[in-house]
Chains A and B, each alone.
Chain A
Amino acid sequence: AQSVTQPDIHITVSEGASLELRCNYSYGATPYLFWYVQSPGQGLQLLLKYFSGDTLVQGIKGFEAEFKRSQSSFNLRKPSVHWSDAAEYFCAVALSGYSTLTFGKGTMLLVSP
């Protein structure tokens, strides 16, 4: 069965600093890969997704992620973090676009002034 590991439960970043959130997956084939963000008390919003093609994917809110097959990773990055980015971030995988999602346990991002 597929699994997703987000090794960092919490990360604190200074406002304006760069950000990288890690995601590793275990899967028999190249899965569909997703990053979602959840603000407190809210639902999940899709930041970006990777199905195929260019391994560097651009998303909303200035986020990007890079798929590295050799490392089974799909890390999320942002060059300059804003206070409004404080939220919980979830990496997820699926067999296809409509398949059920398997989520990591999430990384809580705290932004310090």
Chain B
Amino acid sequence: DAGITQSPRHKVTETGTPVTLRCHQTENHRYMYWYRQDPGHGLRLIHYSYGVKDTDKGEVSDGYSVSRSKTEDFLLTLESATSSQTSVYFCATYGTSGGSTDTQYFGPGTRLTVL
């Protein structure tokens, strides 16, 4: 599964607090993505990165920022969490893994609850 880990796996926080989610990969993949999953919406893209320090916005980027200072780490920050950001967050990378052809691989997800 492309060696993708996400931390934390679960987090409960309060409205107005900053939150940072981390995605770490061991495959040296260039492309990385953050999606959120909500019931009835499937997965929606928040931000993505096409290289170190190169990022761009996705469909639902408001209230989120990202940073990528090295290939293996892609951070998602909620500057001031709101209840509407309660969701499951998935990180993904694009590349080759374990002999499989290039595709997007997903991490295990982080369940975030904003009270």
Contact = CB atoms under 8 A, between A and B. Distances in A.
A100 B50 CA distance: 10
B42 A43 contact: no
Interface in B12-26: none
Interface stretch (A12-20, A64-72, A77-85, A102-110): A102-110
Interface residues on B, range: 20 to 34
Contacts of A4: 42
Contact of A44 (B41, B44, B45, B90): B90
Interface string B89-115: 010101000000011111111000000
Q: From DSSP, what is the main secondary structure of chain B's interface residues?
A: strand
Interface string A90-108: 1010000110111111100
B64 interface: no
B42 A105 contact: yes
B21 to A, nearest CB: 14
B44 A46 contact: no
Contacts of A97: 94, 102-103
Nearest to B107: A43
Contact of B43 (A42, A45, A46, A101): A101
A103 B102 contact: no
A100 B30 CA distance: 13
B45 A101 contact: yes
A47 B30 CA distance: 23
A43 B37 CA distance: 11
B66 to A, nearest CB: 13
A103 B44 contact: yes
A90 B42 contact: yes
Interface of A: 4, 34, 36, 42-46, 49, 90, 92, 97-98, 100-106
